[in-house]
Structure 1
């Protein structure tokens, strides 16, 4: 474009003014559109749709703490005269009553836990198992009186174990024969009940005596630790490598291509998240810390946007008029609106992938954080990531291309 330096300087000044006018709405307006208006247009409850999406795709959100399954109960019984279990060992009871395990025997005020212990009349047994198996036990009428299990101390532990090369089905069977129950098992990300399908890299959640589990887990893998302390070193390395990756710029035909700070940070986070999944004892970040970082980051981002653009907004509006602002609104919303409808009714995309990809294609990280906070889930990042990379590339390419066309 052959223009004078003065004209070029004036044009650059107008670009900055137009940017100040449109940036706030381009961020906050699109954020509101994707979080609130888009789901309303499609008549979808975003929170419920996200929950359904997670369940259908067997995605773990990783934010829930350890708790004993609602289906697993602890019950106490006194063996009355004529009870069919008198004379059996604890091992015999476990074998003859599927899904039920005697964790402790109380006899004359003493706790007995050896599997070779022989049951006697008036013994109190503490049984752990699934509620449906307790119902089957009651149908047998074994001449037992139920006591309040809260009056007895039972030190149970629930642990989710990542199976490693040490795992074998025989080792798992050995653990199960020593008073341990399987709560849930996941093979290739899907819950299973046939435990012979379990392989290295799968997860199994087991419940049993705390002291025994601590050593037994080592024979099949290691426990996924939630912890209460943040691994600051792990998180710092993640951030540093993300910034380093974002500093890389590849120039093709004088067009600079880069992931930018946001995109590179996201890619680094995805990689370190995958790494932490494979090595659960490394890089622990408690749910409370993750919530604080996400909430604080979103609020700070919105505040900085306002501080940067707010000071020049009124002046810019007087100088260039409302037309530039209206054009900015149309350019921000119209592509998202049309893509939303095209993705839903032509491509048949579900609302989660639809919203996530729109956040990415517009390179609006604040919108991603907002829908994550709205739904208490980070599943939108799955569709956000690839479109964010493409959005960064094409937006960078299109800017000089538009200038060249208009010239």
Structure 2
């Protein structure tokens, strides 16, 4: 807190030094924080210190490295950290200084609220094309279907987007909306398609069939939980939950796992177990019917 006496001393001293003036033109400046995609090949594989030394003293003057990330994961901002193409470098400085450095190391990642519809439409089309593919093993047809194809396409394009963050932009709000609508639509369509048939089957065969379905659903899942926890030694709950959701091809459950985890870590185990489960279901389904 500035006391009255101190303020008086300052004013008195100022008058003794000289005449007070207003703001000096061109002395005001503001700092900006920009994310730059590292794309210049001559920086790839080098340490942070080596990259800094590659820039002239004039080029790096007034610019500060404040963050470094790869694929959405933060990297330590240390001189010994190795960088690669596609890493996101966060710089702090004046707009002109940051622009000068960005021109030498890569491309500024401009924040945008727009969605790259072309990129995502191509991903959907590619997923449907992959899902149409059928491989025959003897008389048994194997296919990923539209769901498995879309999942594989999403993994491929997601990997590409992590290496090239300038493409495939989608605001987090739009992504959350699509996830919520997609899961709600999936549940609604599944209920409309199978609900009436399930009620008719229960009315025809009694409650025993329904209880057998509950047992068939819960017992393998419980056994899988114990096997994964005590044999495979899954210690990360998010990864384990993603694997369990994929093994049951449970898209709504996977959506809830993502919400609880708060990140995309469970996506990888879900994708692997989902693909394996769908292939085995397609393969073993006809075999079970044939031998029953």
Structure 2: which 5+ residue stretches go unaligned?
1-20, 44-50
Alignment partner of 2:107: what SS?
strand
Give the aligned partner of residue 45 of structure 1.
Answer: none
Contact kept? 2:238, 2:261, Cα under 8 Å: no
Report how far residue 197 of structure 1 moved.
3.5
Alignment partner of 2:68: what SS?
strand
Contact kept? 1:166, 1:221, Cα under 8 Å: no
* Matches for 1:176-255 after TM superposition, within 5 Å: 177-186=60-69, 191-201=75-85, 202-255=87-140
* Matches for 1:33-48 after TM superposition, within 5 Å: none
Q: Residue deviations 1:211-258, cap 9 Å, x none?
A: 332342121112234411001111100100010001001001111111
Deviating more after overlay: 236-245 vs 296-305: 296-305
Q: Residue deviations 1:66-115, cap 9 Å, x none?
A: xxxxxxxxxxxxxxxxxxxxxxxxxxxxxxxxxxxxxxxxx8512556xx
Aligned residue-pair number: 261
Distance 1:286 1:163, change over 3 A: same
Alignment RMSD: 2.3
1:383 is aligned, of 260, 263, 269, to 269
Q: Distance in 1 between matches of 2:124 and 2:155?
A: 12
Give the aligned partner of residue 191 of structure 2.
Answer: 306
Alignment partner of 1:229: what SS?
coil
Give the aligned partner of residue 403 of structure 1.
Answer: 289
Give the aligned partner of residue 158 of structure 1.
Answer: 33
Normalising by structure 1, report the TM-score.
Answer: 0.59
Give the aligned partner of residue 110 of structure 1.
Answer: 24
Give the aligned partner of residue 201 of structure 2.
Answer: 316
Q: Distance in 2 between matches of 1:288 and 1:111?
A: 42
Distance 1:355 1:333, change over 3 A: same
Normalising by structure 2, report the TM-score.
Answer: 0.81
Q: Distance in 2 between matches of 1:186 and 1:298?
A: 30
Give the aligned partner of residue 279 of structure 2.
Answer: 393
Q: Distance in 2 between matches of 1:174 and 1:253?
A: 68
Give the aligned partner of residue 53 of structure 2.
Answer: 170
Could you say which structure has the higher strand fraction? 1
Alignment of 1:274 with 2:178, yes or no, is no
Report how far residue 301 of structure 1 moved.
1.0
Report how far residue 363 of structure 1 moved.
1.6
Report how far residue 366 of structure 1 moved.
2.3
Contact kept? 2:114, 2:170, Cα under 8 Å: yes
Report how far residue 312 of structure 1 moved.
3.4
1:365 is aligned, of 251, 255, 266, to 251
Contact kept? 1:298, 1:366, Cα under 8 Å: yes
Alignment partner of 1:378: what SS?
coil
Q: Distance in 1 between matches of 2:57 and 2:220?
A: 60
User: Bigger relative contact order, structure 1 or 2, given CA contacts below 8 A and separation 6+?
Assistant: 1
Report how far residue 310 of structure 1 moved.
2.7
